A and B are shown apart, each in its own frame.
Chain A
């Protein structure tokens, strides 16, 4: 089977790009880590890739808010390329810093309103960077077509972020997200297993590690092609990576679905 070429843009300060590339490769894709400078110079083009994965890290040191400057670059330099990718239905996945950048660039803006985006990712409610394993459920009813085959799948992987709390402008935004199928991942109670999901974290720490509203760990856009999440499924590809503790599947099926959608 052909391996779809998958672009992994690297901005200064990006990390976990190598793990993301490893996950894509194992999932059957052809990962290509490319520095943003080479995309900007035109040496490498978005259009030559079947999908885009924006990895984690601290792009440009997150000095202007997490993912802030990368978001600016996505919006000012690569708006047309990204727009074309979305229109063509090519999957775009943002993880952690990549998710933050997609949100702030407006590609994952939440329910549309005049006056701009209605969702954001902001400081964890405990005010600290937090690294721990969490249990995630893929939301039934999520409108992303490439996640559809994984509906209700439960998996475990680590979070590692300081600004991962999903916040919304007002409660109606949350309703529209639910109604519109924009919620893609939620933090689950740590007792949840792939066979018997016991439900959401209910806002309680540490199952919901950052205080995200409605336990939202990730979302998609109205087209369903663009998906973002704070946790790191690319750090749970092998069984030996999973710590003792609650059971839960690996993140590999997510990358397999992503690569499949890129075919």
Chain B
């Protein structure tokens, strides 16, 4: 018997949200929308039990109404449910809760029902379904009742097929790679063919898949290990040719050369690790989840957070914070400009933001630092960078599995979700991607991951494991394959708990089902591990053991699935030789308009500058009680802050805090990726210094998002950007401790703008001297650290005014001495507020200080040859706006020396006054607030 219970909440926010989406899509006939939760319940329940279920679980007596059966429609109806095989957490929770209520076993299939009120034409109806209500990659729908699909008890489909390789010619090998979604090139396919010819047998499906995952760009970074010949075409027609012996090596070499005493682990683990204090270390990692977020924004971003948090768990750390940096297409993109097969940027943004908030909030982690950038270049391929910071006691992360250790997996069950994620992220997208690799989309379950966090922390403290890694791209094939590289492993897949039936062994082996951690547990500690897991409601599976045979052996019961030598799996990949081209843009100069107040307001209201409070406040940035400097600051809590300062829970023995910041400037990258890297490093560092961070304790992370590296013009920019990172790390004397590259970010053959995110992790020596952009008082002096530039290339004002200028401001030549001086002044308590000067230049920085503090600010730049527009809107790096008490002027002068100049005053009058030469413009603080906060340019 299937019972249907519809529950409608009088204040379900989903209804108004649908109406608003309809309006934004131009569907004006919709006057309202009622949303109901539909519970389809299969089981033997008496009337009294149904009543109990409704009263105790489904219906809130104050705000809900319910109908048993189908209520009569109040408008056009759309009923939506997830497709079979996609995780439905609510249904599973309801089944468990019914059991707790003592009811007979029930099975549940959930749906959402929308009753669209008003006049809805067929065209409008279709628009709403396609653009707002249904994501066909993971959902299906019906214009009336949807037939519920219940999941059934799980058993595997034990079929292993072998593939004939030895008779295939080159063309057929490539066809096979494409057809099986292996993303392997001809040389790689030939190497595999040769290996199995030498063993005198055919590979199994699972063996080919394992090799494809392990050798994927995502897992092994083929491009970053390749030898690359770069031809750099200068604008004078000359060409410089260089050969780059591995981009990854270049980044590692600079870290090895710097090798500061506080560096614990760089590049080798799931996350980079640095010292915090005498007792604890900090682990930091940033990842991307771009392609999944393009197809299913909520799930893609959701599992992006989950994945990077697992990286931090994978170095035995307790995650303590999250970061996110997002790049979307323009929110006001017209329908005509939206390519087929692409979700609208607004929908991607809303889904991504909801996905990030959902996962981080439910893990109880503060999401404290980030940025959002909008550009046409990201319409078909948005970027979702997710970072996570963790804390671990020094020396508590074991990294060596021992012979006979058990391979223990904890966390979620395995389904077909996320199969081919690693190879999917290693190929470009087009309109058909959603249909062909829909299985790569995963749905997150943060509560299961939260359980893993609790278990791993306690298992670590009890010394229950010898090695640990997260189960990410490639699933068990990558995590177990990597962990067993030295010893060899034997795995039995028949022990793996499944979400639903029909999975073949290779699918279980490859599945990227979320929320799993793999540990090497000595046989005599397995019972303790099991007890710990049951205490925390975490499922544990014993997969097999570390063997000492140096082979990867996988069985399903008695059926052989994989038998590969570790040496071939990990070292058999042929090295790539690639060619790259970079062409400098042709220089262009242009006439500049006169500087006007309107320019400042338009800069402040630009989506990349304007407040993201509506996004950021949906993330919990307070949980764990350690947030010292928040995303928004000042008396009205709406001024932008430069970086996040965190005092980790449990470290009150001293006054040290961690600081997180980021730098990202793709506009520069279009002109010169090398300069983009240098400027992104500078931006991250000056943000960090501006809140009180010590420039001598900064660790950097790189995240490259680029197009198809097999195309020389894309690869040329990437090589230049890596070179910029290497040069920047040397100049700033800051090591890279971890990094990631996400390549093949293309849609229909169009690459994204090459985009580099630099994330910085540092220390604030004393939380009493952590400052923000809002702390100034009336009569304070205003100082400018650094010098302006006469060039507007790559600046936001150039974009807004469509100036064709290409010349970039010069890089900072003495960053360390400059930032050390600023840091000493802040740490000495001389500075009342600091704010970095970035997009929009000095006029934006000064306006933001006024918005944050709600004071006026008066700035006079000594007259020179520069035009006022250049003076106030240039984006020269290395600049920070500081304020200090009048009484401290002499001390500040001594502390900052040649690095800063006195530029103005904080005033009582709520006016932003900017003067250069003969020009003065004035803007009321109120107008600046409207532009920055509400994006209104009056």
Contacts and interface: CB of A to CB of B under 8 A. Distances in A.
Interface of A: 12-16, 18-19, 22, 35, 37-38, 56-58, 60-65, 68-69, 72-73, 75-77, 104, 115-120, 122-133, 158, 160, 165, 167-169, 232, 234-235, 237-238, 240-241, 243-246
Interface in B121-135: none
Contacts of A76: 100-102
Contact of B622 (A18, A69, A75, A232): A232
B237 to A, nearest CB: 56
A90 B63 CA distance: 31
A244 B774 contact: yes
B637 to A, nearest CB: 6
Contacts of B89: 61, 63
A42 B768 CA distance: 46
B618 interface: yes
23 contacts: A15-B363, A15-B623, A16-B364, A18-B624, A22-B625, A61-B93, A73-B100, A123-B13, A126-B13, A127-B14, A127-B16, A128-B617, A129-B357, A131-B619, A131-B622, A132-B617, A167-B11, A241-B627, A243-B633, A244-B774, A245-B635, A245-B636, A246-B635
A13 B362 contact: yes
Given A118-B62, A243-B637, A19 B535 contact: no
Interface of B: 9, 11-14, 16-17, 55-58, 60-63, 89-90, 92-94, 96-97, 100-102, 357, 361-364, 445-447, 450-451, 534-537, 617-625, 627-628, 630, 633-637, 647, 649-650, 652, 767-768, 772, 774-775
B625 A75 contact: no
A89 B131 CA distance: 55
A87 B102 CA distance: 27
Given A68-B57, A160-B361, A119 B620 contact: no
Given A123-B11, A169-B61, A240-B767, A61 B447 contact: yes
Most buried by B among A73, A125, A240: A240
A72 B795 CA distance: 57
Contacts, number: 171
Contacts of A65: 60
B620 A131 contact: yes
Nearest to A241: B625
B57 A64 contact: yes
Closest 3 CB pairs of A and B: A15-B364, A127-B13, A63-B93
A57 to B, nearest CB: 6
A118 B62 CA distance: 6
Contacts of A22: 625, 649
A160 B447 contact: no
Contacts of B56: 72, 75
Contacts of B61: 115-117, 120, 169
Most buried by B among A56, A124, A238, A246: A238
A38 B622 contact: no
B62 A123 contact: no
Nearest to B97: A69
Given A37-B534, A56-B623, A158-B622, 17 more contacts: A12-B536, A13-B362, A60-B93, A61-B362, A63-B90, A63-B94, A64-B97, A68-B97, A76-B100, A116-B55, A122-B62, A125-B11, A129-B618, A160-B361, A160-B622, A235-B622, A235-B623
A167 B12 CA distance: 13
A72 B535 contact: no
Contact of B62 (A16, A60, A127, A168): A168
B351 to A, nearest CB: 14
Most buried by B among A60, A62, A167, A244: A244
B537 A12 contact: yes
B12 A35 contact: no
Contacts of B635: 244-246
B600 to A, nearest CB: 25
Nearest to B637: A245
A244 B772 contact: yes
B535 A129 contact: no
A120 B59 CA distance: 11
Contacts of A124: 13
Nearest to B451: A12
Contact of B623 (A63, A123, A160): A160
Contacts of B9: 122-123
